[in-house]
Amino acid sequence: MTPSAPQSRLGKGLAEPSTDLSRLSRVLEQFKEEKGSLIPILQRTQDLYGYLPREAIHLISRQTRIPLSRIHGVATFYAQFHLTRRGRNLVRVCDGTACHVRGAGRNLEALQEILGIAPGETTPDYRLSLEVVYCLGSCGISPVALINNKVCARLSAEALVERVKVLE
């Protein structure tokens, strides 16, 4: 039997759609005359697709004549860039010291249990990506999670799971 990716309990896996590069072509046209614009191009590309698809990186390389190796170097150096497709929703659970002593570990375990993924992973249906962060600067209202950039404070495991369950 072939091993398969973990299945989310909240949805079935879907095939990744092919990348529509026409929008990226328009972006590259805007940057055509600008030297040293690789980072803004990558940022705009990620804004378009949510990550940096392989086909997009190849197109950028062809149009800008920047070697693929350099683009990969930049894309992997900066934490803001993602080379794999991410979920429609992003849940960041803080497991810094203050949050940890107030139950962040239990919150994280509850999420992993219901989603079937580990931190750094995305559900097979691309509904959600899960990340762990270490201190969001909101220790006074810990334990904290960011759900699509919205701060959720003083979360119990049950409350966190309920908020995540309704994400589409």
Reduced 3-state DSSP string for 12-72: CCCCCCCCCCHHHHHHHHHCCCCCCCHHHHHHHHHHHHCCCCHHHHHHHHHHHCCCHHHHH
Q: Which stretch binds ligand FES (CB under 6 A): 11-19, 48-56, 72-80, 90-98?
A: 90-98
Query: Nearer to ligand FES by C-beta: 97 or 148?
Result: 97
Residue from 19, 112, 138, 156 touching ligand FES (CB under 6 A): that is 138
Residue from 21, 74, 139, 167 touching ligand FES (CB under 6 A): that is 139
- The reply on whether position 151 binds ligand FES by CB under 6 A is no
- 116 to 135, contacts with ligand FES by CB under 6 A? 135
For residue 115, the surrounding DSSP H or E stretch is helix 104-115
Task: Determine the 3-state secondary structure of 152 from DSSP.
Answer: strand
- The reply on whether position 96 binds ligand FES by CB under 6 A is yes
Smallest gap from Cβ 139 to ligand FES, in A, equals: 4
Smallest gap from Cβ 23 to ligand FES, in A, equals: 36
- The reply on whether position 144 binds ligand FES by CB under 6 A is yes
Q: Which of 95, 101, 100 is nearest to 119 (CA)?
A: 95
Residue from 59, 98, 114, 159 touching ligand FES (CB under 6 A): that is 98
Q: Which of 74, 79, 66, 85 is nearest to 129 (CA)?
A: 85
How many Å separate Cα 8 from the centre of its chain?
Answer: 16
Angle between helices 157-165 and 104-115 (to 10 degrees): 40
Binding residues for ligand FES (CB under 6 A): 94, 96-99, 135-136, 138-139, 142, 144
